Amino acid sequence: MKKAMTRMMQVASVALLISCSAGDPFSDYTNSWGDNWGNDTPSENSSGSSTTTGDLTTFTVNIDQTSAEPTDAATEYMPDEEDALENSTFTTEVAIDMASPTAKTENGVEITVNGGHITANHGSTKNICYVLSGTTSNGSFTVVGDKKYEIKLNGVNITNPDSAALNLLSGKRAYIVLVDGTSNTLTDGTSGSQKGALYCKGKLLFNGSGQLSVVGNTNNAIHSADYIVFRKGNNIYAKSTVNHGIKANDGVFINGGIINVEVTAAAAKGINCESNIVVNGGRTTVITTGDGTYDTDDQEAKGAAGIKADSTFTINAGELWLKSTGSGGKGINVDMDANFNGGNVYVVTEGGQYKSNNDTSSPKGIKVDGDINISGGTIWVRTSGYNGEGIETKSQLNISGGEVACYAYDDAINSKGDMTITGGYVYAQGKNNDGLDANGNIYLKGGLVYAICSGQPEVAIDANTEGGKKLYLTGGTIVAVGGLESGSSLTQSCYQSSSWSKNTWYTMTVGENTFSFRTPSSGGSGLVVSAATTPTLQSGTSVSGGSSFFGGLGIAGGSISGGSSVSLSSYTGGNSMGGGGGWPGGWH
């Protein structure tokens, strides 16, 4: 697989672009990929599909346990200051050799042995540290006790055919330390009633820079009945063949580390939490391959997901690489609000819509039932299977910063409620539908928006006019291949070119600012542009330098040469293309 640095270089590979004409680095790429809200599907009357090129169509997601974790990180979040290992001391070490277990009572700890299965009971004894080493193919380590404790995994390999390999039944904090330079494995069998190959009744707190591989063959790989905290240096691989990779009841907090997760079961989740999920650093990669399934208890169709939060999801820093290949699969699935404040998120879904018992689960890059708030970072989403949307919320969508790029089979970015863009850089291309689509109003007040639709009757930017809603354009820099919704309120003047050339670099100049963009291989008719002051437009330009966005499809502030002037006329809205804010922060 590509190393993390290689993948980040891929994202930034065109930050200092050479030439974007004959020598364009993406000229060999000709990929095509591509739901309206609710039960809507791509219009059968659409005049065609919209295809494009660039890194957004080709970036990959693969398990990577070897590359160094990103250095960018936000302040660590611990639900309680006691969760930090450095705030506790565990001075009494009890050595456990899993290859040759011995029953004993040592320093207030009672060790009992049944074959290869070991139980340690430290009762009310404080400051206990269990040091595990050795290999067993038919054993387990169980902890009970009334005080918090530490477990150092010092080159231990445990396989338990009948239950959990590491069974932490104490309800107190469990500090798991992955000893630097060691490799550790925990595996359960295909029988038993365990909730995970690594099960913890209390808070599960990972520390250290060693490696840990956990494989669940009966249920989850890692399961805490409380919350889980990951920290810088952790290198953890979790795999489940029957359920979730990492499961927590009360929270998952990723402050750093290299976390890799693979799940293969139908509708399984890579990381599943009944409460909040927060990402503050590290690199987390999740791949799900299971198809959708019908949940007879909830009586609904469900799909797999890389990350599933029953409460809120927040990312402040770090990297997320998510891929779902099965039917109905999703990258991120959130029941309440999702907040993207920083970091880098890359999502690929490849499966199509799952249908069962008159219910469906459609693939989504990011699906949120509450509000989506994007204020920073980078989000790239690609969906290629039938009915796959890029980003969808059942409530409000607010973008005030960051870079968002979606290339989706259906609508690229969709909201059931209002959509408001006040800043940032937004690319939205629907292969078979709209670029931006809202069942509520759309408020474009700032930022840079490059939207592309498939063709009539779809439009690049679509508000719910049929429902009495509108697109309100009062600011920002807009490029719309396929036009704007009819009946829009265009306080900021818009201009059109009735035709455009495919796979061509155009440059829009507003004052001293330039935005160069590559047109798609196919898409909606007509080209609409808008900015704070009257723009000029050139086609066939060559661009060097500047800042690259959207996988090489947009460049801000580049040096322009060549090209020919494009005639622009006044535009009042509608995809028939009849006659008729300002640049994002940091562009000045």
Name the more confident of 525 and 118: 118
Position 370: which residue type? G
Share of residues in the chain with pLDDT > 90 (%): 86
pLDDT tens-place string over residues 450-471? 999 998 888 999 999 989 999 9
Task: Give me the pLDDT at residue 497, please.
Answer: 94
Task: Give me the pLDDT at residue 584, please.
Answer: 54
Name the more confident of 73 and 9: 73
Helical H segments across 203-294, by residue range: none
Beta bridge partners of 316: none
- The Cα–Cα gap between 200 and 67 comes to 29
- The Cα–Cα gap between 555 and 19 comes to 11
**Cα separation values, 518 from 304, 411, 423, 504, 525, Å:** 34, 20, 21, 5, 15
Query: What integer best gives the mean pLDDT of the chain?
Result: 90
Q: Is residue 494 pLDDT above 80, yes or no?
A: yes
Domain parsing of the chain, residue ranges? 1-30+418-588
Q: Is residue 401 pLDDT above 90, yes or no?
A: yes
Question: Which one-letter DSSP state was computed for residue 280?
Answer: -
- The Cα–Cα gap between 80 and 63 comes to 31
Task: Give me the pLDDT at residue 48, please.
Answer: 63
pLDDT tens-place string over residues 95-107? 999 999 999 999 9
Name the more confident of 250 and 574: 250
Average pLDDT over residues 15-21: 32
pLDDT tens-place string over residues 96-147? 999 999 999 999 999 999 999 999 999 999 999 999 999 999 999 999 999 9
- The Cα–Cα gap between 452 and 173 comes to 51
Task: Give me the pLDDT at residue 49, please.
Answer: 82
pLDDT tens-place string over residues 20-77? 332 222 222 222 222 333 333 444 334 468 898 899 999 999 999 999 999 999 999 9
Residues 6 or more apart from 48 whose CB is under 8 A from it?
A: 454, 455, 522, 523
Q: Which residues of 193-217 are buried (b: 16+ CB within 10 A; e: fewer)?
A: ebbbbbbbbbbbbbbbbbbbbbbbb
Q: What count of other Cβ atoms lies within 10 Å of the Cβ of residue 493?
A: 16
Share of residues in the chain with pLDDT > 70 (%): 89
Average pLDDT over residues 315-342: 98
Question: Which one-letter DSSP state was computed for residue 463?
Answer: -
Residue 147's H or E segment, with its range, is: none
**Taking the complete model, does pTM exceed 0.85, yes or no?**
yes
Task: Give me the pLDDT at residue 53, please.
Answer: 84
Beta bridge partners of 302: 293
Q: Is residue 265 pLDDT above 60, yes or no?
A: yes
Q: Is residue 224 pLDDT above 50, yes or no?
A: yes
**Extended strands (E) in 210-289:** 211-216, 220-224, 228-230, 235-240, 246-248, 252-254, 258-263, 269-273, 277-279, 283-288
Q: Is residue 9 pLDDT above 60, yes or no?
A: no
pLDDT tens-place string over residues 409-425? 999 999 999 999 999 99
pLDDT tens-place string over residues 167-182? 999 999 999 999 999 9
